[in-house]
Amino acid sequence: MTALTIRDISRRSGLSEPTLRYYEEVGLIGPIARDPSSGHRRYREKELDTLQALACLRAMGVGIEDMRRYQANRELGHLAAGEQRDLLLRHADRVAGEIAKLGTHLDYLRAKAALWDARDRADAGAEIEANMQVHKMLPRLAEVVLG
């Protein structure tokens, strides 16, 4: 079994060294073994697997408490399958909402770009049409922005 340094783990997991230390401090991982002579952290492959899972959750906006719950559920395995499913689906719903919001922003940006494209081409008819599209989108955009 090869022991991995914090730098190795950081590169392979995508998590910064301060984040790795923080995750150990708050109990998401570890405690991590230490080199007896230097006191430096030495990670195992099992910890790398855990950290890669946590990096994915972090990238999706999952908070520390839900990461902690996720880790506990992983340890429980089948006994916590329902809770694990519910936790992940709750975040899937949140991400779907974010995607919908971003989709509205994307539609608005494209409509505004079409308006400016029509102006650039001096196409009065296309400008009127694009301006109508932008105005039709405003209520939906306001709803997304204001919640």
Q: Where are the domains of the chain?
A: 6-82, 89-146
Q: How far apart are CA 64 and CA 102, in angstroms?
A: 24
CATH topology of domain 6-82: Multidrug-efflux Transporter Regulator; Chain: A; Domain 2 (1.10.1660)
> 């984040």: which residue's tokens?
19
How far, CA to CA in Å, does 36 sit from each of 22, 42, 87? 21, 10, 39
> 């408490």: which residue's tokens?
65
pLDDT at 104 over 90: yes
pLDDT tens-digit readout, 39-96: 999 999 889 999 999 999 999 999 999 999 999 999 999 999 999 999 999 999 999 9
Q: What is the pLDDT of residue 33?
A: 93
Q: Is the separation of the CB atoms in 62 and 27 below 8 Å?
A: no
pLDDT tens-digit readout, 10-22: 999 999 999 999 9
- For residue 82, give the amino acid letter: G
